[in-house]
């Protein structure tokens, strides 16, 4: 690999942790101004708007593939995505 490719790889690898950390920093900053549920909603709305151009054509295929297990997907979405982040945002409001 060239040095330029190594730098590009490093930058791409750093995107996810920086977004994750930035999410918590922003949530801590907005504590009191925005409720945890609103923050969670707008976070996922922004993610959906951002990703739709890249996966928009694949959405019907995705829904077709999870049609048989929609209850499991719904439970995992509620507990692993929605409730978890609301609890994290609540915790950020009561900790230093």
pLDDT digits (tens, 9 = 90+) for 22-75: 888 888 888 889 888 898 899 889 989 999 999 988 989 988 888 889 999 999
Residue 29 CA to residue 40 CA, distance in Å, equals 14
Q: Can you give the pLDDT at residue 50?
A: 92
Q: Can you give the pLDDT at residue 45?
A: 93
Q: Is the pLDDT of residue 4 over 80?
A: no
Q: Can you give the pLDDT at residue 17?
A: 92
User: At 2, is the pLDDT very low, low, confident or very high (cuts 50, 70, 90)?
Assistant: low
Closest CA to 43 of 32, 56, 54, 34: 34
Residue 91 CA to residue 66 CA, distance in Å, equals 33
CA angle 27, 36, 41 (to 5 degrees): 95
């Amino acid at each position: 690999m060239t040095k330029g490719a190594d730098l590009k790889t490093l930058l791409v690898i750093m995107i996810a942790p920086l977004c994750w950390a930035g999410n918590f920093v922003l949530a801590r900053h907005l504590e009191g101004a925005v409720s945890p549920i609103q923050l969670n909603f707008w976070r996922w709305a922004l993610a959906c708007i951002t990703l739709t151009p890249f996966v928009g054509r694949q959405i019907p295929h995705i829904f077709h593939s999870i049609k048989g297990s929609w209850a499991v997907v719904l439970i995992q979405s509620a507990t692993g995505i929605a409730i978890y982040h609301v609890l994290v945002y609540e915790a950020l409001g009561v900790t230093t």
